[in-house]
Amino acid sequence: MHKINVLVAGSTGYIGIELIKILIKHKYVNIKYLCGSKSVGKKIYHYDKTLNNKKLPKIIKFNKNLLKKVHVVFSALPNGEGQKISKLLLSHNYLIDLSADFRLKNANDYYKWYKIKHTAINNIKKSIYSVPELVGKKINHYKIISCPGCYPTSILLPLTPMIKKNLINIKSIIIDSKSGYSGAGRGVHKKYSKQNLYESISAYGVGFHRHNSEIQQELNSISGKKINFLFTPHLSPMFRGILSTIYVDIKDNQNIKKIHNELLKFYKKSKFVKILKINQLISTNDVINTNFCHISLCETKSKDKLIILSAIDNLIKGGSGQAIQNFNLLFGLDEKIGLQ
């Protein structure tokens, strides 16, 4: 198989850097262009000393002429920028977008949650919201691949099979998620300058975090009914990783062993989702620098209630790694290439 030429837009952010680290290891990828704005003319080595590969191109400004020589654009740009790129795509181009630009199927919902008017409404129908484990070969019918947010990834992977199999009550789901501060991007230190990021934990976006929108959309789609849930994210004094703790009520005819077996069956062929033993405690340290999602089911003092633990690396399984996994699916490659 010939190498696939790719362009990384937004190459100097935390996600962009992780993308490049993975793409360098991918045997079927040629990094043709690295693009940025304030970083034009610099080598990516300036932003991460481990990226000292002399073959990597200097950072240049994105322009539509670059699309003639690449097959795939990975966009790790701020919200709104992926829409602009989508309108420039040529017939042989694919866009794998890590922003929220194509996560929501309704342009009005996008404006409601992101306060940006969607400028590429006609391209929404050409896009797919892709958690690789849940989408599979359906990805082949789309030119624009929308990668889920990091929090939703950690939440949708454990909840999807439970809701599909009607194992839990969909009216009372509580989600408590904690993320490393890298999830807020390179501007995190300026944004939270009055807080001690390294020694404190803080709740934010309580009740109205933007990721509520895609969680709601996807869970409703799975169920066919409106799912009632509460989601509270927290910023933790660690650089990377997400741990989501999800509280659910079990249906009358279910128990933890049955639900555990259903999860094992659902993810039997999955390369990156690991269903651990019942009551096994997990931490972000178990998944850091990997594309894995670890899921554990834990008993509570009430037989009708269950606690789900889900851990991912927000920069990889919740970002760059998931994008590469989607890339592999799109081109019929082994999902693990570049991600071992």
Residue 193: per-residue pLDDT: 57
Cα distance between residue 76 and residue 17, in whole Å = 10
Pairing outcome for strands 229-236 and 173-180: parallel
- Helix, strand, or coil (residue 336): coil
Cα distance between residue 4 and residue 327, in whole Å = 10
In the chain, the amino acid numbered 187 is G
Global pTM value: 0.95
Ranges of residues in the chain with a pLDDT under 70 are: 184-195
Query: What is the three-state SS of 267-315?
Result: CCCCCCEEECCCCCCCCHHHCCCCCCEEEEEEECCCCCEEEEEEEECCC
Q: pLDDT, tens digit, for every residue of 137-169?
A: 999 999 999 999 999 999 999 999 999 999 999
Cα distance between residue 51 and residue 11, in whole Å = 12
Domains annotated for the chain, with CATH where assigned, are 4-147+319-330 (3.40.50.720), 151-312 (3.30.360.10)
Residue 330: per-residue pLDDT: 97
Partners of 3 in the beta sheet?
none
Q: Is the dihedral angle over the CA atoms 233, 309, 287, 221 positive or is it negative?
A: negative
In the chain, the amino acid numbered 43 is K
Total length of the chain: 340
Residue 43: per-residue pLDDT: 93
Residue 194: per-residue pLDDT: 61
CB atoms within 10 A of CB 28: 15
CB atoms within 10 A of CB 253: 8
- Active-site hit among 35, 147, 150, 293: 150
Residue 192: per-residue pLDDT: 60
Cα distance between residue 238 and residue 201, in whole Å = 9
Encode 292-301: b = buried (16+ Cβ within 10 Å), e = exposed: bbbbbbeeee
What residues have CB less than 8 Å from 236, skipping those under 6 apart? 178, 179, 180, 181, 201
Cα distance between residue 74 and residue 82, in whole Å = 9
Q: Which two tokens stand for residue 285?
A: 């340290």
> DSSP of 3-61, one letter per residue?
PEEEEEESTTSHHHHHHHHHHHH-TTEEEEEEE-STTTT--GGGT-TT---TTSPPEE-
Q: Which two tokens stand for residue 219?
A: 């869970």
Residue 304: per-residue pLDDT: 93
Partners of 196 in the beta sheet?
none
Q: Is residue 35 annotated as part of the catalytic site, yes or no?
A: no
Cα distance between residue 67 and residue 244, in whole Å = 38
- Helix, strand, or coil (residue 97): strand
